[in-house]
Amino acid sequence: MTPEIQKLEDSIRKVHRVAFTPKFKDSFQTKLSKSAFIAIALKAIEKIGWEVVYYDDSNIEAKRKNDWDTWTEGIAMHYDFGKVNIQSTSLGNEMWDFGRNSKRVRLFQLVLHSLESELSEEEIKGFESEQKKADEWDDYVIPESLPAPSPRMKPNIYIPLICTIVISLIIGYILAFSISNGFYIIGLFDVGVGFIIGFILSQTLKLGNYTDFKKLRPILIASVILSFISCQIFIYQLYISKNPSVEIDFITFIKLRLEAGLTIKSLNTGWIGLVISWGLLLFFGYYIGLLKLVSGIIKHQLNRIPPEVLDFAVYLFINEKSEDQVKTELSKFGWSNNEDQNYVMEAVGAIGDAQEMRRS
């Protein structure tokens, strides 16, 4: 953001919002046509310094980052016959936005109106034409040749499966040791479990060249559950090792733990608190792990295809070629193997998946 834009934002009066997810809505009129609005709005967003995560012929979605490279607000706008509906939504966990959402909405309006008034009709048409060319890839030059497919191992699900089982057992022991010694931070450790399992799964799927989400997801679920169950077993084993004279089976031990409940500092939350803590481990472990898994699948699907090949396939789809026609064109450039062609199709789909992740 330039000093000029920052000064303009500082001059905007805040309108505070308090809610579970604070947001601020507004609408305004513009003389721009629909296609011209999209082109000029994208220029306004670029000038402000936000990141565009999605746009089509009448909608734009952008996100703002703070100095710590964290998303703070999501801004969505919709053009409807000269009327622009715009909304800024907080992306953090705060319940009070301190007026930040209203500032984002007002700032966009001011910058857009400024560009609309400063630019001549010819300049606006020029930006509109440039945007149309970019969207339709008019400047793309069909290559004379494409990089040859790289040799790839056959997809192997056992590599991510075995690795995540091993890491789940290790995590279970670490959690058990931490809990047994009174060093456990609820929430932080739970998120850590999901991050580690998701990271290991996302890395090992590359080694196995395996990207079938429908089969990798059950592995993630099983790994989180295994971490939880092994944690309880290791807690039991650590207790028995410290108290060898005590004769107690595992089921009875779990019942006694439930009766004792969970104590946070001096507050005993009872069995409800303990069950909730277990639920948090399973929930955060799965949710964070799922994000890492999906991200890993998308990255691998994109990275195993040369950019030149991917660009060529996208260009063909933009020009309304069918999947069979795209595969036929790819075969002319040496991509005739059915498996290699399917990798290209997965990579094209991964572009949309990556966009959806950025939007969510």
pLDDT of 25-65, one tens digit each?
999 999 999 999 999 999 999 999 999 999 999 999 999 98
Provide the total of helices (H) and of strands (E) in the chain, helices listed first: 12, 7
pLDDT at 83: 95
Q: Is the dihedral of CA 100, 103, 104, 105 positive or negative?
A: positive
Task: Tell me if 253 is assigned to some domain.
Answer: yes
Tell me, yes or no, whether 213 and 178 share the same domain.
yes
Task: Tell me if 144 is assigned to some domain.
Answer: no
pLDDT at 273: 86
pLDDT of 130-148, one tens digit each?
999 998 899 999 999 999 9
- Give dist(CA 229, CA 223) in Å, integer: 10
Q: Is the pLDDT of residue 182 over 80?
A: no
**Residue 41, Cβ neighbours under 10 Å: how many?**
25
- Give dist(CA 59, CA 52) in Å, integer: 11
Q: What is the DSSP letter of 14?
A: P
User: Please, which pLDDT band fits residue 157 given cuts at 50, 70 and 90?
Assistant: very high
Range of the domain at 177: 158-302
pLDDT at 262: 80
User: Please, which pLDDT band fits residue 263 given cuts at 50, 70 and 90?
Assistant: confident
pLDDT at 180: 84
Which of these three, 302, 322, 349, is where a domain ends? Answer: 302
Tell me, yes or no, whether 97 and 181 share the same domain.
no
Which of these three, 284, 302, 320, is where a domain ends? Answer: 302
Structural domain tally of the chain?
Answer: 3
Tell me, yes or no, whether 131 and 231 share the same domain.
no
Task: Tell me if 121 is assigned to some domain.
Answer: yes
Tell me if 342 sits within 8 A of 173, measured CB to CB: no
Q: What pTM does this model have? A: 0.84
Tell me, yes or no, whether 321 and 290 share the same domain.
no
Tell me, yes or no, whether 193 and 248 share the same domain.
yes
CATH number of the domain that residue 30 is part of = 3.30.310.80
Q: Is the pLDDT of residue 265 over 80?
A: no
Q: Is the pLDDT of residue 186 over 90?
A: no
pLDDT at 77: 96
Task: Tell me if 145 is assigned to some domain.
Answer: no
Task: Tell me if 153 is assigned to some domain.
Answer: no
pLDDT at 172: 94
User: Please, which pLDDT band fits residue 107 given cuts at 50, 70 and 90?
Assistant: very high
Tell me, yes or no, whether 176 and 264 share the same domain.
yes
pLDDT at 260: 85
Q: Is the pLDDT of residue 110 over 90?
A: yes
Task: Tell me if 63 is assigned to some domain.
Answer: yes
Q: Is the pLDDT of residue 187 over 80?
A: no
Q: Is the pLDDT of residue 12 over 80?
A: yes
Q: Is the pLDDT of residue 152 over 80?
A: yes
Tell me, yes or no, whether 344 and 292 share the same domain.
no
Q: What is the mean pLDDT of the chain?
A: 91
CA 134 to chain centre: 25
Task: Tell me if 223 is assigned to some domain.
Answer: yes
pLDDT at 27: 95
Class of residue 300 by CB neighbours under 10 A (exposed 0-12, middle 13-18, buried 19+):
buried
Tokens of 35: 């296609």
Tell me, yes or no, whether 291 and 170 share the same domain.
yes
Tell me, yes or no, whether 175 and 267 share the same domain.
yes
More confidently predicted of 199 and 359: 199
Task: Tell me if 146 is assigned to some domain.
Answer: no
- Give dist(CA 306, CA 301) in Å, integer: 11
Average pLDDT (171-194) is 86
Tell me, yes or no, whether 165 and 211 share the same domain.
yes
R_g (Cα) of the chain, nearest Å: 27
Most confident of 152-156, 183-187, 266-270: 152-156
Average pLDDT (340-359) is 92
pLDDT at 149: 92
More confidently predicted of 302 and 244: 302
More confidently predicted of 220 and 68: 220
Q: Is the pLDDT of residue 317 over 80?
A: yes
| % of the chain with per-residue pLDDT over 70 | 100
Average pLDDT (254-267) is 82
Tell me, yes or no, whether 49 and 94 share the same domain.
yes
Task: At 16, give phi and psi (nearest 5°).
Answer: -75, 145
User: Please, which pLDDT band fits residue 2 given cuts at 50, 70 and 90?
Assistant: confident
pLDDT at 205: 95
Tell me, yes or no, whether 296 and 313 share the same domain.
no
Tokens of 345: 């199709």
- Give dist(CA 272, CA 133) in Å, integer: 60
